[in-house]
């Protein structure tokens, strides 16, 4: 197993895809006062993105115990460790990894990260989170497909999430993703499920 595959596997175990948080992390809606700006980041300290990541997942998994999630730390420590991996890999400058932050009202409101797979026209969605107060404004969807700005000719998006993560599954299904056999080595198929979206040109 290559180093990048090992790291992707670790992130899958810990964070099981935060894209669900675009639709679970709150009940309030922010007023639309400025356009969404996407900024691609190649290096830096992602403190604001980390805070969004942790708060969102704590909200999303508030009804799940540590035992059910299969973790030994408390949830906040576990999530902080997961994001630490994301931060470290970004600063390593791995060319296959892409990180984008979403800004609105002059502040960070969400982020997404991706990496290329062994297939040149396929992209893996690593993480996705949106601030709860900006829920239901289409920011999650824009983040998912933002990678098209960086990689031309994408024909398929893939991801892995936990089977108990019904919110993530509903979010991706709404975008047209279908359940598939995509996974990472070592993941229990009883606990994890892959999703894919194939892009067809009209």
The stretch 180-190 carries a mean pLDDT of 92
**Does 22 have pLDDT greater than 70?**
no
> How far is the C-alpha of 65 from the C-alpha of 201, rounded, in Å?
43
CB atoms within 10 A of CB 91: 13
Taking the alpha carbons at both ends of the chain, their separation in whole angstroms is: 38
Q: What pLDDT, on a 0 to 100 scale, did the predictor assign at position 202? A: 60
**Does 78 have pLDDT greater than 50?**
yes
Q: What pLDDT, on a 0 to 100 scale, did the predictor assign at position 135? A: 80
More confident residue, 33 or 125: 125
**Does 11 have pLDDT greater than 70?**
no
> How far is the C-alpha of 36 from the C-alpha of 58, rounded, in Å?
25
Reduced 3-state DSSP string for the chain: CCHHHHHHHHHHHHHCCHHHHHCCCCCCCCCCCCCCEEEEECCCCCHHHHHHHHHHHHHHCCCCCHHHHCCCCCHHHHHHHHHHHHHHHHHCCCCCEEEEEEEECCEEEEEEEEEECCCCCEEEEEEEEECHHHCCCCHHHHHHHHHHHCCCCCCEEEEEEECCCHHHHHHHHHCCCEEECCCCCCCCCCCEEEEEEECCCC
**Does 168 have pLDDT greater than 90?**
no
The stretch 131-157 carries a mean pLDDT of 92
> Which domains does the chain show, CATH number per domain?
3-198 (3.40.630.30)
**Does 161 have pLDDT greater than 60?**
yes
Q: What pLDDT, on a 0 to 100 scale, did the predictor assign at position 77? A: 94
Lowest-confidence region among 108-112, 161-165, 174-178, 179-183: 161-165
The pLDDT tens digits of the residues spanning 41-73 come to 999 899 999 999 998 888 878 888 999 888 899
> How far is the C-alpha of 119 from the C-alpha of 171, rounded, in Å?
25
Please, what is the average pLDDT of the chain?
A: 84
Q: What pLDDT, on a 0 to 100 scale, did the predictor assign at position 52? A: 94
Q: Tell me the two tokens of residue 5.
A: 């595959």
The pLDDT tens digits of the residues spanning 90-141 come to 999 998 999 999 999 889 999 999 999 999 999 999 999 988 888 889 999 9
Tell me the pTM: 0.81
Q: What pLDDT, on a 0 to 100 scale, did the predictor assign at position 106? A: 87
């Amino acid at each position: 197993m290559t180093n990048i595959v090992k790291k992707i596997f670790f992130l899958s175990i810990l964070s099981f895809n935060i894209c669900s948080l675009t639709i679970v992390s709150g009940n309030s809606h922010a007023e639309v006062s400025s356009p969404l700006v996407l900024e691609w980041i190649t290096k830096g300290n992602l403190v604001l993105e980390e805070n969004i990541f942790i708060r969102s997942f704590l909200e999303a998994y508030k009804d799940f115990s540590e035992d059910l999630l299969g973790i030994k730390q408390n949830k906040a420590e576990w999530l902080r460790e997961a994001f630490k991996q994301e931060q470290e890999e970004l600063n390593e400058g791995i060319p296959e990894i892409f990180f984008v932050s979403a800004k609105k009202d002059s502040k960070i409101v969400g982020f997404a990260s991706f990496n290329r797979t062994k297939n040149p026209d396929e992209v893996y969605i690593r993480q996705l989170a949106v601030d709860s107060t900006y829920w239901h404004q289409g920011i999650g969807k824009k983040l998912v497909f933002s990678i098209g700005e960086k990689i031309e000719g994408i024909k398929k998006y893939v991801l892995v999430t936990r089977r108990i993560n019904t919110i993530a599954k509903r979010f991706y299904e709404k975008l047209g993703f279908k359940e598939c056999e995509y996974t990472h080595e070592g993941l229990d198929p009883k606990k994890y499920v892959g999703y894919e979206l194939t892009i067809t040109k009209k």
